[in-house]
Structure 1
Amino acid sequence: MTSVPVVIVGAGPTGLTAATLLAQYGVECLVLERWESIYPQPRAVALDDEVHRILARLGLREEFAAISRPHRGLRLLDRNMRVLAEFRRDLAQGRHGYPEGSLFDQPELEAILRRNLGRYGTATLHGGAEVTALTQDASGVRVDFTDPATGEPDSVRAAYVLGCDGANSLTRAAIGTTMRELGFTQRWLVIDVVTEADLGQWEGVHQLCDPTRAGTYMQVGKTRHRWEFRLAPGETAADFHDMGRLHPLISAWTGTVPVAELEIVRAAEYTFRAQVADRWRDRRMFLLGDAAHLTPPFIGQGMCAGLRDAMNLAWKLAGVLGGTLPETVLDTYEIERTHHAQAMIKLAKLIGTAMTAGGELGSIIRRAVAPRLHLVPGLTEVATDSQTPPLHRSDLVMRPRLRRSLAGRLCPNAIIDGDRRFDDVAAGRFAIVTTTEPSAAQRADIHRRGAVLITARPGSELHRWLRTGNARAAVVRPDGAVLSASRRPLPHSIDTLRSVGG
């Protein structure tokens, strides 16, 4: 039986991202995907600058920019299409060097992810391979799969398996865990339309705050538009299968554009859920993406969470397989990611409830309150800031319990020198960022451990960032998250790096 260090079940964005990151570390992996080619229907359409940063890490900075469009933020509309509130985002670069919000077409994203993965000889994508069983023992996992077209069986043995196989995950069933409900279930109609016509709409996300028919609109690409509407009891997607039935829902945005110039790409029913798996790992098997969590789409974080899972786990797994990190670091994956995912799910639930709850009374309250939201100190910054919560305390997030710290937060992808940013210099390694000028011996010690030393000069973005955390030095992990931050001298950071095997 063929053996491989890592088998990844599923070649969606999460699986492809995990495979590429592992391949960058030289880890051989096999991606098994049921379908021969990319699923053609659009699904995810939005990501933030933190996830844009992950795509750049994969080598897709220019390619993703070519297929995506920055968006201007969020507008809240009442049922008469009047603007209740507007939260603008600057289309210029945020703290990570990318637009704080981008819109895209998922099949196009998957196409560039697949092409990019093909550049690495250590990664193999096997389409037309449906995984049928996962059998785990002390030393590895047997993965059985078949060709759906012929029924021909095959198998492979893996040291580790990453289940990136979606909401109906076979890996989750093999682990023996279940999805825990977080109290949100709504049926929505998702519509994708293509037109050459210019709809003349504001280039951001439109949230229709109508308790009778809540909705969302955004222009995803040059010719592609996405609408989502909450379905009433008894309604199904079949009730809106043609433009004659669909047009009354979207006409407020399409205006005088002739119906003949609007082509339906998809009109499908989705049940938006808030769920998280009870366990994300069983020994050598892990859950990532929709297999581990489902997020209502109101803040565009569903796919983002999966790519964050891959970023969190890949460097740890590569370190364990390469012998530079102890196997116990894998315990931090679920600890860190489950709390972060739940925080984002709660935020999505809050936004969804604010859009849809309260009936007519809720609508009256929104009309009265929303236009004054910008007067609440700090609320606009919160609504437009793409920064997500810090990671939970773990063996790899040394955050004090009783005081504020940079630990668990992402180090900004700041400009270091010329046009090089933090990620260009760190290049997927541990890094120490310090305001203290190191000695030659300290430099040599850090470099001997395969880490990078970055001196934060006075007045630089990294210097200001350290000061906001009341720190003189920070140890930054290969995924960009801060392991520890301290006001203590530089040798303390070197000792911290040594303690985790860096």
Structure 2
Amino acid sequence: MSSQPVIPPVVVVGAGPVGTTAALLLARRGLPVLLLDRQPRPYGLPRAVHLDDEALRVLADAGVVEAFLEVSRPMAGLRLLDARHRTLAEFRRAGDAGRHGWPQASMFHQPDLERLLRAAVRDTPGVELRGGEEVVGLAEADRSVTVTVLERATGRRRDVVASAVLGCDGANSTVRGLVGARMRDLGRPDRWLVVDLRARVPLPVWPGVHQVCDPDRAATFMPVSGDRYRFEARLRPGETAADLTGAALPALLAPFGAQDAEVVRAAEYVYRAQVADRWRRGRVLLAGDAAHLTPPFVGQGLGLGLRDVHQLSWKVAAVVTGAAGEELLDTHRAEREPHARALVRLAAVVGRLMTGGGAGAVPVRRAVLAAVAGVPALAAYATDSRTPALRAGPLVERRGPAGRRLAGTLVPRARVRAGGRECRLDDVLGAGTAVVALAAPGRVAVTAAGRRAELDDVDGALTAWLRAGRARFAVVRPDRVVRAAG
């Protein structure tokens, strides 16, 4: 009786939120994972502060969304202010659940997210996390990669044979350099001061994001979670972070009532709009900030990385286990790069519209924002968390009226009822490809893993979604992206 061949681990490089999420997604598909990080312990200061409900779909598949909801809070919306902090426009978000069952936008403290992700990694069989270990070499073979690892504390080196390597090691990615990829600019870099704050009592401030649309001193202020807040201000040419973090800082914080708040961290950040010119070499693939960097204006930095690994993990699992050919990995860049590029460009454009131009742009901005805020459809679009559909390709069949409307988008995580038990659609879709179709009035049929079940469409969301897309059925991929509809 022959034994099953042992699959070498997938090596995930970088144990930030994207890398740890990738490790969890791969392990939940039965793959062994070795998670490496050059730092011996997690970075203790915040960076990302926002995720939308599409990105929470990824955390749900990683098994940590309920824990995330306990350490985050819904974002109330966006308020645009002029130089004197008068409201130009306000775009509110409802605090109740959106089309995926969670708030459309959530604010959080990144170290909280990293703690719960690492706790999940510790509790997940098949994942080994090793800190203080740096990848210094990659040698590719036919169906494996030999990873040379440096133990930074001892200087010792060792080789690890991997079935695949995911470079989730951030903006200064080592893996990106080892595969010969380079970042390409989509816009000019932008220097900002970022200040993280804590307040002993809640600040008397509107609970959404405040964007100061002042070309002379663009700024952002936002409550994060708990007693934490963030303030950001664009640095002028020749200005340094030190110029604003002394006596000048209380005056900048005063309009938000934060002049007496504790400064946890104040640092200069250079926001870049960049996308890598290569995302894959053999079985080595890039994801997250290693593949793209975005300005912060639409809050998609971390969300883009989570989408990368959600759409990549099932493909890697299929290739590594022999269920699919190597060509499946070609779809990683083909799908993710145009999507990332579109959101990076959108962030750059939104940043210019909100904060760019000289004095002459101020009255134009005021008039345009007043017009947008006065049209409900446009105002709703400004707070919609949906991101662009994936482009047509081997795994996205955008043919026919239904395909053009639905393929490449996410199926709603709607409420359904099966056998008297109410749950969410993802709970019955399973880990593979599934088909969702109209059935009797008020009911939908789901075919997954070879089984067909009719379910009550509890609030009619799935029926309405299919009919709006002129579809009777939709084929849903493992990452909940619609492959085809008709």
1:431 to 429, 434, 445: 434
After TM superposition, the structure 1 stretch with the greater mean CA deviation from structure 2, 329-338 or 146-155, is 146-155
Residue 136 (structure 2) pairs with residue 132 (structure 1): yes
Structure 2 stretches lacking a partner, 5+ long: 1-5
Q: Given residue 388 of structure 1, which amino acid in structure 2 is its aligned partner?
A: T
> Residue type of the partner of 1:389?
P
Counterpart residue type for residue 163 of structure 1: G
> How far 1:350 moved relative to its partner?
1.3
Partner of 2:3: none
Q: By how many angstroms is 1:330 displaced?
A: 1.5
Q: Is the 8 A contact 2:415 2:457 kept in 1?
A: no
In structure 2, do the counterparts of structure 1 residues 331 and 451 end up closer, same or farther at CA, with 3 Å as the change threshold?
Answer: farther
How far did residue 425 of structure 1 move? 1.3
What is the aligned partner in structure 1 of residue 267 from structure 2? 268
- Give the 5 Å matches for 1:24-423: 24-242=28-246, 244-254=247-257, 259=260, 262-376=261-375, 378-400=377-399, 404-417=404-417, 418-423=421-426
Task: Name the CA distance, whole Å, in 2 between partners of 1:137 and 1:321.
Answer: 13
8 Å contact kept, 1:433–1:456: no
Q: Separation in 2 of the partners of 1:3 and 1:239?
A: 55
- Summarize the Cα distance change of 1:400–1:142 in structure 2 as closer, same or farther, 3 Å threshold: same
Gap regions ≥5 residues in structure 1: 487-502
Q: Which amino acid is the alignment partner of residue 29 of structure 1? A: V
SS in structure 1 at match of 2:166: strand
Contact 2:138 2:178 in 1 (8 A): yes
User: Which segment is superposed worse, 308-317 or 360-369?
Assistant: 360-369
Call closer, same or farther: CA 1:451–1:332 in 2, change over 3 Å: farther
Structure 2 Cα separation of the partners of residues 23 and 452 of structure 1:
27
Q: Indicate conservation of the 8 Å contact 2:396/2:407, yes or no.
A: yes
The answer on whether the counterparts of 1:49 and 1:101 sit within 8 Å (CA) in structure 2 is yes
Residue of structure 1 in register with 2:468 after alignment: 468
Q: In the aligned structure 1, how far is the partner of 2:125 from the partner of 2:316?
A: 19
Whole-angstrom distance in 2 between the partners of 1:431 and 1:137: 34
Q: CA contact under 8 A between 1:429 and 1:450: conserved in structure 2?
A: no
Amino acid at match of 2:103: P
Q: In 2, are the aligned partners of 1:426 and 1:452 still within 8 Å (CA)?
A: no
Instruction: Give CA-to-partner distance per residue, 1:243-290, whole Å, 9 cap, x none.
Output: x332121111026x6x3xx21111111111100011111111100000
What is the rounded CA distance, in whole Å, between the counterparts of 2:207 and 2:249 in structure 1? 22
Deviation of 1:404 (Å): 2.9
Question: Does the CA contact (< 8 Å) of 1:214 and 1:230 recur in 2?
Answer: yes
The aligned residue for residue 490 of structure 1 is: none
Aligned partners of 1:401 and 1:285: how far apart in 2? 35
- Contact kept? 2:75, 2:107, Cα under 8 Å: yes
Q: State the distance in 2 between where 1:311 and 1:452 align.
A: 25
The code of the aligned residue for 1:148 comes to R
In 2: Cα distance, 1:87 partner to 1:458 partner:
29
Count of matched residue positions in the alignment of Structure 1 and Structure 2: 473
Q: What TM-score comes out, normalization by structure 1 length?
A: 0.90
Distance in 2, matches of 1:450 and 1:150, equals: 52
1:401 Cα deviation from its structure 2 partner? 7.6
Query: Given that residues 433 and 453 in structure 1 are in contact (C-alpha distance below 8 angstroms), is that contact kept between their aligned partners in structure 2?
Result: no
Q: Tell me if structure 1 keeps the 8 A contact 2:316–2:329.
A: yes
Q: What is the alpha-carbon distance in structure 2 between the residues aligned to residue 155 and residue 348 of structure 1?
A: 40
Report the residue type matching 1:332 in the other structure: T
Partner Cα distance (2:327, 2:213) in 1: 47
Shift of 1:457: 5.2
The CA distance in 2 between the partners of 1:47 and 1:63, in whole Å, is 14
The more displaced of 265-274 and 424-433 is 424-433
Matched AA of 1:246: L
- What one-letter code is carried by the residue in structure 2 that aligns with 1:472? R
What's the offset of the Cα at 1:369?
A: 2.7
- Measured on the aligned residues, the alpha-carbon RMSD in Å equals 2.0
Give the conservation status (yes or no) of the 8 Å contact 2:438–2:463: yes
- Kindly tell me: are residues 106 and 291 of structure 1, through their superposed partners in 2, closer, same or farther at Cα, counting changes over 3 Å? same
Output the amino acid matched with 1:204. G
C-alpha distance after superposition, 1:208-246 (max 9, x if no partner): 10000101111111211101110001111222344x332
Distance 2:332 2:319 in 1: 13
Q: 1:147 to 1:182 in 2, by over 3 A?
A: same
Which sits farther off after the overlay, 104-113 or 364-373?
A: 364-373
**Would you say the 8 A contact 2:11–2:165 is kept in 1?**
yes
Q: What SS is found at the alignment partner of 1:118? A: helix
Task: State the distance in 2 between where 1:24 and 1:143 align.
Answer: 23
Per-residue CA shift, 1:350-383, capped at 9, x if unaligned? 1100122211011222223322322346211210
Distance 1:169 1:197 in 2: 39
Q: 1:34 to 1:314 in 2, by over 3 A?
A: same
Distance 1:125 1:328 in 2: 29
Counterpart contact for 1:95–1:412, Cα < 8 Å: yes
Q: Which has the higher helix share?
A: 1
Q: Secondary structure at the match of 2:435?
A: strand
Structure 1 Cα separation of the partners of residues 79 and 12 of structure 2:
39
Secondary structure of the residue aligned to 1:360 is coil
CA contact (8 A) 2:135 2:175 kept: no
Deviations 1:271-319 (CA, angstroms, capped at 9, x unpaired): 1110001111111110000010001011110010000000000011112
Q: Does the CA-based 8 Å contact 1:87-1:380 persist in structure 2? A: yes
SS of alignment partner, residue 311 of structure 1? helix
Given residue 391 of structure 1, which amino acid in structure 2 is its aligned partner?
L
After TM superposition, give the deviation of residue 385 of structure 1 in Å: 0.8
Distance 1:154 1:475, change over 3 A: same
Equivalent AA in structure 1 for residue 273 of structure 2: A
Shift of 1:197: 2.3
Q: Does the residue aligned with 2:187 lie in a helix, a strand or coil?
A: strand
Write the distance in 2 (CA, Å) between the matches of 1:451 and 1:347.
Answer: 41
Percent same amino acid at aligned positions? Answer: 48
Contact 1:430/1:450, CA 8 A, preserved across alignment: no
For residues 325 and 378 of structure 1, the distance between their equivalents in structure 2, rounded to whole angstroms, comes to 43
- The equivalent of 1:21 in structure 2 is 25
For residue 360 of structure 2, give the secondary structure of its aligned residue in structure 1: helix
